[in-house]
A and B are shown apart, each in its own frame.
Chain A
Amino acid sequence: CSATQDAELKSTIDKVVNSEKVVLFMKGNKDFPQCGFSNTVVQILKSLNVPFQTFDILENNVLRQGLKEYSSWPTFPQLYIDGEFFGGCDITLEAYQNGDLQECLEKAMCS
């Protein structure tokens, strides 16, 4: 039944967002972003020299829909740091410009 499937999907997403310190769900991959917003976040993360894992939501519609509910966030990219939803492109960009992102990443890397 669908409730069981939802619970399974949630636990799968839990595992995925905790699989690395920095996880980005995006359109395309880090070498070939398929959208400007996704590209912006990839470029920010690359410039900060942090290791990060990306998942292409264009290749998995179940994951794509599941993530929207998981984070209550309607759009992509979605950045997760230390298993927590950090934000989309605008939030990541603003946090990068005011130093909050660097601080958050440093904390995550040391934890």
Chain B
Amino acid sequence: MGVSKEDVEGILTSAMKPTHLQVVDTSGGCGASFEIEIVSEQFEGKKLLERHRMVNAALAEQMKEIHALSIKKAVTPSKWNPIPKVQEE
């Protein structure tokens, strides 16, 4: 039994209370590879390594089946500034 994008979203939503969460299934449907962007107050005062550990810990059970988990962003809401598109003059 694989892990679905919805499983990952559900677990992270309840564990991390994110203000922004984007989970992308990069496995082509088999559910073994995901990319994650997560913004949460719980990352406040935590170093990058600790923030990643929190995400890994929340998904500990699923990590047994997930082959590749790429955490693209794990930041606090105050650090969350999606880069604005540069306007051509």
| Contact of A74 with B72 at beta-carbon distance under 8 Å, contacts A91-B48, A94-B48 already known | no
In the assembled complex, the Cα of A91 lies from the Cα of B72 at a distance in Å of: 9
Instruction: Give the distance in Å from the alpha carbon of A36 to the alpha carbon of B29 in the complex.
Output: 19
User: Is B49 an interface position by the 8 A CB rule?
Assistant: yes
Supposing A89-B70, A90-B70 touch, asked if A95 and B48 sit within 8 A by C-beta, the answer is: yes
Please report the C-alpha to C-alpha distance between residue A47 and residue B20 in the assembled complex, in whole angstroms.
34
Please give the distance in Å from A62's CB to the nearest CB on chain B.
18
Is B8 part of the contact surface with A, judged by Cβ < 8 Å? no
Residue pairs across A and B with CB atoms within 8 Å: the count is 29
In the bound complex, CA of A72 to CA of B68 (Å): 16
A37 within 8 A of B: yes
Q: Main secondary structure on chain B at its contact with chain A? A: helix
Q: How far is the CA of A95 from the CA of B71 in the complex (A)?
A: 13
Provided the pairs A73-B56, A74-B56, A75-B69 are in contact, do residues A86 and B49 lie with their beta carbons within 8 angstroms? yes
Interface size class of B (residues with CB under 8 A): 10 to 19
Binary contact track B47-76/A, C-beta < 8 Å → 1, others 0: 011001100100010010000111110000
B60 touches A87 (CB 8 A): no
**Contact (A37, B52) CB under 8 Å given A74-B60, A74-B63:** no
Residues of B within 8 A of A90 (CB): 52, 70-72
Q: How far is the CA of A64 from the CA of B70 in the complex (A)?
A: 19
- Which residues of A have CB within 8 Å of B63? 74-75
Produce 1/0 per residue, A26-43, CB < 8 A to B. 000000000001000000
- B56–A87 CB distance below 8 A: no
Q: Which residues of B contact A85 (CB under 8 A)?
A: 49
| B contact residues vs A (CB 8 Å cutoff) | 48-49, 52-53, 56, 60, 63, 68-72
